[in-house]
Amino acid sequence: MPELPEVETIVRRFRPLLEGRRITGFDTRWKKQLSPSLAAVRAGCVGRRIVRLARRGKFIVFQLDPPGCLLVHLRMSGRFEWGANCECEPGHLRAIWTFEDSERLLFCDPRKFGRVIYAPDLATATGELGVEPLSRAFTVAKLAALLRRHRRRLKPLLLDQRVIAGLGNIYTDEALFRAGLHPLTASDTLRPPQIAALHAAIRAVLREAIRYQGTTFDHAYAGGDMQHRLAVYGRKGQRCPRCGAAIRYARVGQRGTHFCPRCQPIRGRRRRLVRRGQRQTQAGAAR
């Protein structure tokens, strides 16, 4: 469910509750979510104090003392709750942390896609992750280099967490709309003004979404207001707020993709990539 802005909002909400607290117990109802093992997670967090709650990409990061690192990924349906009882179905409760003052942190996750990971340090756990899009390291030049390094369609490239960490399906569609770029555009064909526009669009949409505390969808994530400010995501068939054309919906890399056919025209080498994609789809259907 959550992308960078939602995870950032959750981290800010839980930071005052968690920082400084010492973990006295950890229990799970779903061992498969734990990495590398229940024993490792329990040994890694019980008895340690949370010195800092942070975010890296879509991971919630508990920095511990004595030094260690606990990472939680909410994936599609995970959420945190604070207190004795969870608001979710009791059967959806997957993990419980208890603290020295008997307070509890609950991890609810109906679809069981979420993950709880222990690692000795952050670098070990997140070494594969790409650049933080709101960090100083994410410059126009950096984005230009990332786009040139591959010859991929923009949408799957932006969703790849090894390239940029934190973008998901909603904000990728919104950033491409703001930049006026078609999702199928080949990444190595963008010209400098388009790269600058994409860079600005990514940062602007993420900052705005954080300001509005993310996008409320269903039970998975509540409290955000960004859903009222989305231009294309989830608006198939509705009018583009910029030009009035009907918003289109297509599958790109197995993900539902929303775009304005007039504001996001196809240019460059996309034709070749589109044809290649169609051939592969036909081959898959024949199999």
Peptide bond between residue 133 and the one before it cis (omega within 30 degrees of 0)? no
Smallest Cα–Cα separation from 173: which of 244, 115, 226, 95?
A: 226
Which C-beta is closer to DNA: that of 52 or that of 275?
Answer: 275
Residues that bind DNA (CB under 7 A): 1-3, 6, 32, 57-58, 73, 75-76, 89, 91-92, 110-113, 150-153, 156-157, 159, 161, 168-170, 215-221, 252-256, 273, 276-277, 279-281, 283-285, 287
CB of 54 to DNA, least distance (A): 16
Q: Rounded to 5, what percent of the chain is helix, strand, coil? A: 35, 25, 40
CB of 282 to DNA, least distance (A): 8
The CA distance from 239 to 118, in Å, is 46
Does residue 177 sit in helix, strand or coil? helix
Which C-beta is closer to DNA: that of 51 or that of 246?
Answer: 246
| Paired residues of 234 in beta bridges | none
Catalytic residues: 2-3, 58, 255
Strands (E) in 74-218, as ranges, are 79-82, 93-99, 104-108, 115-119
The CA distance from 268 to 147, in Å, is 14
Which C-beta is closer to DNA: that of 102 or that of 254?
Answer: 254
Contact criterion met (CB below 8 Å) for 187 and 147:
yes
Which C-beta is closer to DNA: that of 44 or that of 214?
Answer: 214
Which C-beta is closer to DNA: that of 15 or that of 255?
Answer: 255
Does residue 11 sit in helix, strand or coil? helix
Q: Which residues contact 211 (CB under 8 A, 6 or more apart)?
A: none
Contact criterion met (CB below 8 Å) for 82 and 17:
yes
CB of 103 to DNA, least distance (A): 26
CB of 65 to DNA, least distance (A): 27
CB of 43 to DNA, least distance (A): 22
Cα radius of gyration (the chain): 20
Query: Crossing angle for the helix pair 140-149 and 192-211, nearest 10 degrees?
Result: 110
